[in-house]
Structure 1
């Protein structure tokens, strides 16, 4: 049994005493022993032995399981908070957590579309869909682990080539930019355009998450990747409009 200061205070309040007998196997915490000393109470091992009992040498503090970004400690994770790195907690409306939600939503919708378009049985379409899937998964992992995004190709092209191709549809596809999307377009183009719009929302969330209050922009590798993601999807739209993914 461990006797704490609070327990002794309650006993003393109900019936003050000048001697306190500690039974065998009972341990006094340092603060409990100090309380008895302050009250000039003699600590007895038993009624017949005047030897003072041993107390705990160190009252070990309980370590907090989580930390906040401002150094605060949490023994349990509040429902309104989540882990951003390791045991570091932030509120769930943190810009980084909002960004992660956007990435999660985009990837979920992209995978559903990828599964749906498998029925088209177009090998080029399936290959391009999987290329984008792998790209967004690597973006997601680099953000969560706070690691530099590795060099990667999408649609078989490096990121600079993706930018060039998306900016020059006339050169690469003999098509004008798809500014006037309508129900007349290929259904694959329309579905891809929906995901392209979501990728732009994700990019904006990324800019907000990685721009500090002093205007300094962090994680430019991820911001570049978000931009090239939307460009890659736009290239897929051009391929779809060109008929590379099957008949209209």
Structure 2
């Protein structure tokens, strides 16, 4: 008999940012309320087998899986092409200098979009590490664990959207949407009861770790501007650039939330981050 994933377990164990995705063990099934939660937040589901292969739900969304596994990032199951992005001819042997820009085109690894992917990859790896360092605090303050999990999900979605060309969804952190995060980041004293900070030693280890992520998100935003800025100073992917801009703001808000929680033991009501 398959095990069931409930709404409660989803909220406790996964980042549930709008437009992101969750990875569940192969063979489990979702309860109606769990399915509704994922649908409301437009969260994609992927199933992971014991051998690490990734599957998509079947048409009934019942937890059964496709026979063919898919790429964990792009969800594709077709072999990519090897077409040169300059001359448009097929490349018989891909050298170490080249890598895939999309499912068909090869570009040098120095391409600005490949540089951006590297920066996002580093940001995600550092975020997962910060999550492990925060483990003790998260047990005491689950609000922080859930907020950072949502931001980690958003980072993965940014990377997927850049690779696939899909439009990036707006950021969310718990029940805080893009506009609310932006507003709190500009007026923290009004909403959190603490004014802006420039991180320093007295703010403690957790704030310091989050600040590293905030700075890396800012660096990724600059790389995105370099990758997508045209000669007319327009952006071909404004959704990616805005997403990274809001990501650094959200991490800053989480820094302030952490400082307030560690100082006072509680947070003001912010729309039900849980």
Under a length normalisation based on structure 2, what TM-score does the superposition of the two structures give? 0.63
What residue number does 1:48 align with? none
> Residues 170 and 243 of structure 2 are in contact (CA less than 8 Å); yes or no, is this contact kept in structure 1?
no
> Residues 214 and 248 of structure 2 are in contact (CA less than 8 Å); yes or no, is this contact kept in structure 1?
yes
What residue number does 2:181 align with? 162
> Residues 132 and 155 of structure 1 are in contact (CA less than 8 Å); yes or no, is this contact kept in structure 2?
no
SS at match of 1:85: coil
> Residues 171 and 243 of structure 2 are in contact (CA less than 8 Å); yes or no, is this contact kept in structure 1?
no
Pick from 210, 215, 225: which aligns with 2:243?
225
SS at match of 2:172: coil
Pick from 205, 225, 236: which aligns with 1:207?
225
What residue number does 2:46 align with? none
Q: How does 1:109-188 map to 2 (within 5 A)?
A: 109-120=126-137, 121=139, 122-179=141-198, 181-188=199-206
Cα distance change, pair 85–246 in 1 and its aligned pair in 2 (3 A): farther
Q: How does 1:70-85 map to 2 (within 5 A)?
A: 70-73=86-89, 74-85=91-102
Pick from 91, 95, 100: which aligns with 2:108?
91
1:101-147 CA distance string (max 9 Å, x none)? 00000000001111221222121111111111111111111111011
TM-superposed deviation, 1:94:
0.3
SS at match of 2:203: coil
**Aligned mates of 1:81, 1:133 — CA distance in 2:** 28
Q: What RMSD in Å do the two structures reach over aligned CA positions?
A: 1.7
Give runs of ≥4 in structure 1 deviating > 3 Å: 244-247
SS at match of 1:243: helix
> Residues 171 and 246 of structure 2 are in contact (CA less than 8 Å); yes or no, is this contact kept in structure 1?
no
> Residues 114 and 129 of structure 1 are in contact (CA less than 8 Å); yes or no, is this contact kept in structure 2?
yes
**Aligned mates of 1:222, 1:159 — CA distance in 2:** 13
Say whether 1:67 aligns with 2:91: no
**Aligned mates of 2:200, 2:262 — CA distance in 1:** 19
TM-superposed deviation, 1:206:
0.5
**Aligned mates of 2:244, 2:170 — CA distance in 1:** 14
Under a length normalisation based on structure 1, what TM-score does the superposition of the two structures give? 0.69
**Aligned mates of 1:75, 1:221 — CA distance in 2:** 35
TM-superposed deviation, 1:201:
0.3
Q: How many residue pairs align between the two structures?
A: 182
Cα distance change, pair 246–144 in 1 and its aligned pair in 2 (3 A): farther
**Aligned mates of 2:117, 2:231 — CA distance in 1:** 20
> Residues 239 and 245 of structure 1 are in contact (CA less than 8 Å); yes or no, is this contact kept in structure 2?
no
